[in-house]
Amino acid sequence: MKTILVVDDEPKITQLVRDYLERAGYVVRVASDGRAALSTARTEKPDLIVLDLGLPHMDGLDFTREFRKTSNAPIIMLTARTEETDKLVGLELGADDYMTKPFSPKELVARVRVVLRRVEHAVTNAADVIRAADLTLDLPRLRVTAEGRGIEELTPTEFELLAALARQPGRVFTRAQLLDAIHGVAFESYERAIDAHIKNIRRKIEIKASEPKYILTVYGVGYKFADR
């Protein structure tokens, strides 16, 4: 059974989310502030974290910064903030998805399933290794090497996105097509999230992120993996 850590300082929301996730078959742990969440995450090693951004002691963004130093477990953010920049900052720090409050608990459960499926898909894909240019993706281990360099661990979403591009070098993907590739189901999703994930991937795999050699921007369309 997968373990989900729910982090929110509103008891009613925590209980509601816990009830729905437990009914869906998950083991649920809870925390009400960022510091407690970090301690619980380090000891329990959850398979996924549902994280509110507006937390006491250590907010959700600071939690994500610290957590990402030692773990690539997926994070779904919950936020009451409606500003586009707040959501992009969370994604750029390494969150995998987000939902804006108020939210549907049924949709949250569905998104949890999708993100966990993304991890399983990356690990169990029939092709164990993808090679494109001088980049190698080891699917079972979620590891990437580029020109012999071991790359900082990607989050499951970043890894699956990179794999989708690297499987078909030269193919131009729209943002909507990339969302379909990493989500596996049709959510009304935020396409700009793809830009945040691409920025993270470039920062991790490129020697100079401002002059990418692997993932190229096709202006007005989307992205492609270099076909050389």
Cis peptide bond upstream of 140, omega within 30: no
Cα 157 to Cα 8, 32, 147, 217, distances in angstroms: 23, 26, 22, 19
The per-residue pLDDT for range 96-108, each reduced to its tens digit, is 888 888 889 999 9
pLDDT at residue 206 is higher than 60: yes
Domain regions of the chain by residue span: 3-120, 125-225
Question: Beta-carbon neighbour count of residue 10 at 10 Å?
Answer: 15
> Is 125-225 the same fold as 3-120?
no
Q: Which residues of 109-121 are buried (b: 16+ CB within 10 A; e: fewer)?
A: bebbbbbbebbee
Query: Closest Cα partner for 198 from 133, 146, 154?
Result: 154
Q: Edge-to-edge strand order for the sheet containing 143-146?
A: 129-132, 135-138, 143-146, 149-150
Confidence class for position 190, pLDDT limits 50, 70, 90: low
Instruction: Report pLDDT for 156.
Output: 81
pTM: 0.71
Which pLDDT value is given to residue 188? 43
pLDDT digits (tens, 9 = 90+) for 62-120: 999 999 988 889 999 988 766 667 777 888 888 888 888 888 999 999 989 988 887 77
Which of 10-14, 113-117, 122-126 is predicted most confidently? 10-14
CATH class of 3-120: alpha beta
pLDDT tens for residues 22-57? 999 999 999 999 999 999 999 999 999 999 988 999
Class in CATH terms, 125-225:
mainly alpha
